[in-house]
A and B are shown apart, each in its own frame.
Chain A
Amino acid sequence: MTRQMTGAKMIVQALIDQGVDTVFGYPGGAVLPIYDEVFQQNSIKHVLVRHEQGAVHAAEGYARSTGKPGVVLVTSGPGATNAVTGLTDALLDSIPIVVLTGQVPTFMIGSDAFQEADTVGITRPCTKHNWLVKETDKLSGVLHEAFHVATSGRPGPVLVDIPKDVQFATGTYEARKPSTSHYQPQVKGDLEAITELAAAIEKAKRPVFYTGGGVINSGPGASQLLRELVEATGFPITSTLMGLGAYPASGEKWLGMLGMHGLYEANMAMHGCDLMINIGARFDDRITGVIDAFSPKSKKAHIDIDPSSINKVIRVDIPIMGDVGHVLEDLLKIWKSRGRKTNGEALAKWWQQINEWRSVDCLKFKQTGKTIKPQYALQRLEALTKDHDRYICTEVGQHQMWAAQYLNFEDPNRWMTSGGLGTMGYGFPASIGVQMAHPDALVINVAGEASWLMNMQEMGTAMQYNLPVKQFILNNERLGMVRQWQELLHGERYSHSWSESLPDFVKLAEAFGAKGILCKDPADLDDAIMEMLNHDGPVIFDCLVEKHENCFPMIPSGKAHNEMLLGEADTQGVIDAKGSVLV
């Protein structure tokens, strides 16, 4: 179906055709015609953020918690450049985002016009793909293609730059139809390779599933298949930060998160396994530790939809290119048809070993005295919220790692965190996006005070749309992770790693018209958390915690999985000069 309409109207029409219900944005000169169309319709909700970075993170939160693409609408120049951090964040974590930017009119491009920036040039390396649309007739096709590219294959952010004259001009609108684009990533895995993996599963003595964000991105069906596979084989499973929730934390095969601040049993299992089955993870440096000593004795299989992820960091023996859901379905079928065999005897021994590692109880801590330990705060938060319909966001730093360690995720799409880019300031706007998508759910942003301040302007957004997001700030008045590294690597010289002149968070909340809660005594913690949960509206929870608590376990830079530090006693002189170069 084709119709004549203005470019601005096409944009709204294309969003409606794509099933978009929410747009996060901020108006400006170069998008006024689009905002005029937004004003004249009721199908799409527009959320006015307070900074364009917030818009992109909110869209990421929306996307991660729903599986649908998040949509952003911002103006040219500074509107677009402010979106760059969010785009890069979405690129590294493979989050489908469609960003629409206004641009100066085509006849002014290149003249250093007011609020002109080379948006497609600037965002080329931080998007999966981007377009500058110079003709209104091409606009609808590009918009539909943008959604196709953002959501197909390995998902990612895309950007469409739309000059103002293209928005005003009239052209032909083409309705959404099945994509004829040449971009059609392969989703089915090679059956021969999958059969090879099935055979390896039958023989494995010390197997481990190592899963990542790819399982979540593949959709709830993939998580279901993963759970079936884990239960059927009885193999232990660990996951990256991005993959938490694909397999339930309450499952008995669950080893907890792996990696730099992962659990002892998870990292030891990775180091000692003889078959590693990587499902939708990418051997990130936070996971592998020093490459030369990474899981030295294992055969490695890698399921990934992105061919460039395979053999990029770690050479694997069984590469399988395809969508996790499709490959797991075939793998289960093939493995079952071959008789559902595993090496039961060896597996029992392997579990015995794993249970020994588990008995180290690497997350144990003692809550003593009158100061709240951050671990204790999260333990209580978990206990008091686990039965809620709950979504957790985080900022970046120690609190993020503690949240991953002490909170339990039972389902996919419940955990929103900036993994690849490590963007401080991600969590608060993300929690806004999550709450928009799930108005009745409990949305908590576990934050550090320093990260939280980076996008605190979004309190205005939370108030305007009455989004009852809970900002659970573990306030140690420090840039905790930076401080921890300075302690371990830089001779305890704490260069600029403390937060001075902090606001009074309770008064800050009140200044926005929200509720503020201060808690500093462990004895008051439960009541304070309940007060937060019972308040219908945004809450800033200022939880004053132990200032010098370090995050353990920790694989120090330049070390292997079996060289973890379990606590303070292990930290003396462990990181050598070579390791300290790494980040």
Chain B
Amino acid sequence: MSALKIKKGATSHSAYNLRPNFSDVIERHTLAVLVENEPGVLARVIGLFSGRGYNIDSLTVAEVDHTGHLSRITIVTSGTPQVIEQIKAQLGRIVPVHDVHDLTVEGKCVERELAMFKVTGKGEHRVEALRLADIFRANVVDSTLESFVFEITGAPEKIDAFADLMRPLGLTEVARTGVAALSRGD
């Protein structure tokens, strides 16, 4: 399946080679949406997803270009190829949206997420938690005699795996940022 990149005002016609196969397979896609940093723009994007019944698996947003007033919204979504194409087209239609990139189909991309885990416990559990954290290259950012707060970055799967291991060791709280993603190469 090829990419649908909708760039408003552009003379390229990348959407013409759009030939989605209309399959029922649910795919997970990471979209990077460059938006004008104006009030309400995030509400527009979220409202589009809820209003049209699309899924949001993860969403991050922050200003990335202060002088250009641009923010980057990274959305991980899932749906059939047809739904994914429709999501991209609908996002492209929002007036303050400058660009929609489907990182999943535009070549390889790096996905990273930051998470913090609070693990409480004593004795062997505590030692084991520390040992596993070391293997996962998680940092201890806070510590008491009966608790650690670990900070970990990585692909969402790595963070999932870390969480699975920590759960029996006294995992009490999790905070995750959601995915930030960039395409590889230039």
B86 and A182 contact, CB distance less than 8 A? no
B90 and A308 contact, CB distance less than 8 A? yes
A193 at the interface (CB under 8 A from B): yes
Contact residues in B for A125 (Cβ distance below 8 Å): 47, 51
Q: A125-B51, A183-B8, A321-B16 are in contact. Are A132 and B95 (CB under 8 A)?
A: no
A36 at the interface (CB under 8 A from B): no
Tally chain B residues at the interface, Cβ within 8 Å: 30
Shortest Cβ gap from B4 to chain A (Å): 8
B16 and A186 contact, CB distance less than 8 A? no
Contact residues in B for A190 (Cβ distance below 8 Å): 13, 16
B40 and A120 contact, CB distance less than 8 A? yes
Contact residues in B for A307 (Cβ distance below 8 Å): 4, 6, 15, 89, 92-93
CA distance A120 to B4 in the complex (A): 30
Contact residues in A for B98 (Cβ distance below 8 Å): 182
A306 and B9 contact, CB distance less than 8 A? no
Contact residues in B for A499 (Cβ distance below 8 Å): none
A149 at the interface (CB under 8 A from B): yes
Query: Mask for A98-140, Cβ within 8 A of B = 1, else 0?
Result: 0000000000000000000000110011001100100000000
A310 at the interface (CB under 8 A from B): yes
8 Å CB contact of B43 from A124, A310, A311, A315:
A124
CA distance A468 to B4 in the complex (A): 51
Shortest Cβ gap from A101 to chain B (Å): 15
CA distance A182 to B20 in the complex (A): 28
A25 at the interface (CB under 8 A from B): no
CA distance A121 to B40 in the complex (A): 8
CA distance A519 to B53 in the complex (A): 49
A184 and B86 contact, CB distance less than 8 A? no
A312 at the interface (CB under 8 A from B): yes
CA distance A124 to B36 in the complex (A): 16
Shortest Cβ gap from A166 to chain B (Å): 14
B44 at the interface (CB under 8 A from A): yes
| Residues 8-28 of B contacting A (Cβ, < 8 Å) | 8-11, 13, 15-16, 18, 20, 22
B8 and A186 contact, CB distance less than 8 A? yes
Contact residues in B for A306 (Cβ distance below 8 Å): 93
Query: Mask for A172-186, Cβ within 8 A of B = 1, else 0?
Result: 000000000011111
B16 and A185 contact, CB distance less than 8 A? no
B78 at the interface (CB under 8 A from A): no
Q: A121-B43, A124-B40, A124-B43 are in contact. Are A185 and B22 (CB under 8 A)?
A: no
Shortest Cβ gap from A284 to chain B (Å): 16
A184 and B93 contact, CB distance less than 8 A? no
B85 and A185 contact, CB distance less than 8 A? no
Q: Which residue of A lies closest to B40 (CB)?
A: A120
Shortest Cβ gap from A98 to chain B (Å): 14
Contact residues in B for A192 (Cβ distance below 8 Å): 13, 16
CA distance A132 to B41 in the complex (A): 12
A319 at the interface (CB under 8 A from B): yes
Q: Which of B16, B40, B47, B94 has the most CB of A within 10 A?
A: B16
B82 at the interface (CB under 8 A from A): yes
CA distance A125 to B15 in the complex (A): 25
A182 and B36 contact, CB distance less than 8 A? yes
Contact residues in B for A188 (Cβ distance below 8 Å): 11
| Residues 144-196 of A contacting B (Cβ, < 8 Å) | 149, 182-186, 188, 190, 192-193
Shortest Cβ gap from B67 to chain A (Å): 15
Contact residues in B for A193 (Cβ distance below 8 Å): 13, 16
Q: Which residue of B lies closest to A321 (CB)?
A: B15
Contact residues in A for B8 (Cβ distance below 8 Å): 182-186
26 pairs, CB–CB < 8 Å, chain A vs chain B:
A121-B40, A124-B40, A124-B47, A129-B95, A129-B96, A132-B39, A149-B95, A183-B8, A183-B9, A184-B9, A186-B9, A188-B11, A190-B13, A192-B16, A193-B16, A307-B4, A307-B15, A308-B86, A310-B89, A311-B82, A311-B85, A312-B86, A315-B82, A319-B16, A321-B15, A321-B16
Identify the 8 closest CB pairs spanning chains A and B, nearest first.
Answer: A308-B89, A184-B9, A190-B13, A129-B95, A307-B89, A190-B16, A308-B90, A308-B93
With A124-B47, A183-B8 given, name 6 new contacts (CB 8 A).
A124-B43, A183-B9, A183-B95, A184-B8, A308-B92, A311-B18
